[in-house]
């Protein structure tokens, strides 16, 4: 298998995980911080700062995804082009990487999600107030977004891997051969 392709897969998986962390962990914390502001000036400052930092992080995630191939070319420039992996295709590499990220997301957040669900179900059983009024969106996002992303990645990872591998191979075929 092409070492450059493996490196591209690894960089894109890193980008994918950074995006999960951004939306699953950083965004709920930012929302919680903004909602705790007492004055309008502090609120506006926190909102602007958070939006700027969030936008910068999102741009970095997208740049890492988009530039994974050139970075991989640069990183593997002086290395052998092929790595002996028995019958492993590019799609298989993407599939394995997606499954690894999915398992990491699910395994890393399942305890948080169960704890959150238990807490709110216990709260619903002990108070007369409707459960929907007791749920804090930031807590819900923090507990469940990486878990939901992991489940989606587990279900759709193979089809996404096939599409990405096809795009990758199509782009390589269009590239003129170096002489």
How far is Cα 112 from Cα 101, in angstroms, rounded to an integer? 17
| Residue 154 covered by a domain | yes
At residue 79, the pLDDT reads 63
pLDDT digits (tens, 9 = 90+) for 37-52: 667 776 677 677 777 7
| Residue 157 covered by a domain | yes
DSSP state of 172: H
Average pLDDT for 118-130:
74
Average pLDDT for 144-164:
88
At residue 163, the pLDDT reads 93
At residue 18, the pLDDT reads 77
Residue 2 dihedral angles phi and psi, to the nearest 5°: -70, 125
| Residue 23 covered by a domain | yes
At residue 41, the pLDDT reads 72
DSSP structure string for 17-28: HHHHHIIIIIHH
At residue 85, the pLDDT reads 64
Contact 162, 91 (CB under 8 A): yes
Q: Whose CA is closest to 121, among 105, 143, 106?
A: 143
How far is Cα 94 from Cα 137, in angstroms, rounded to an integer? 32
Q: How confident is the model at residue 24 (pLDDT cuts 50, 70, 90)?
A: confident
How far is Cα 171 from Cα 56, in angstroms, rounded to an integer? 28
| Residue 179 covered by a domain | no
Q: Which domain holds residue 57?
A: 3-174
Q: How confident is the model at residue 55 (pLDDT cuts 50, 70, 90)?
A: confident
- % of the chain beyond a pLDDT of 70: 88
Burial level of 56, CB count in 10 A (0-12/13-18/19+)? Answer: exposed
At residue 177, the pLDDT reads 61
Domain count, the chain: 1
At residue 178, the pLDDT reads 55
pTM over the 0.85 mark: no
pLDDT digits (tens, 9 = 90+) for 77-114: 776 677 666 667 778 778 878 888 887 887 777 777 88
At residue 23, the pLDDT reads 74
């Amino acid at each position: 298998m092409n070492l450059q392709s493996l490196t591209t897969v690894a960089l894109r998986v890193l980008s994918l995980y950074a995006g999960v962390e951004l939306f699953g962990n950083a965004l709920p914390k930012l929302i919680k911080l903004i909602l705790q502001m007492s004055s309008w000036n502090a609120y506006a400052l926190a909102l602007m700062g958070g939006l700027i930092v969030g936008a910068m992080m999102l741009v970095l995630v997208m740049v890492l995804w988009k530039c994974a191939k050139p970075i991989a070319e640069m990183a593997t420039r002086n290395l052998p082009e092929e790595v002996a992996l028995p019958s492993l295709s590019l799609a298989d590499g993407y599939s394995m990487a997606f499954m690894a990220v999915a398992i990491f997301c699910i395994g890393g957040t399942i305890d948080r999600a169960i704890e959150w669900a238990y807490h709110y179900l216990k709260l619903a059983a002990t108070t007369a107030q409707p459960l929907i009024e007791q749920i804090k969106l930031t807590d819900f996002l923090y507990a469940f977004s990486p878990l939901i992303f992991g489940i989606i990645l587990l279900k759709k990872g193979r089809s996404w891997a096939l599409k990405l591998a096809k795009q990758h191979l199509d782009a390589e075929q269009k590239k003129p051969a170096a002489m």
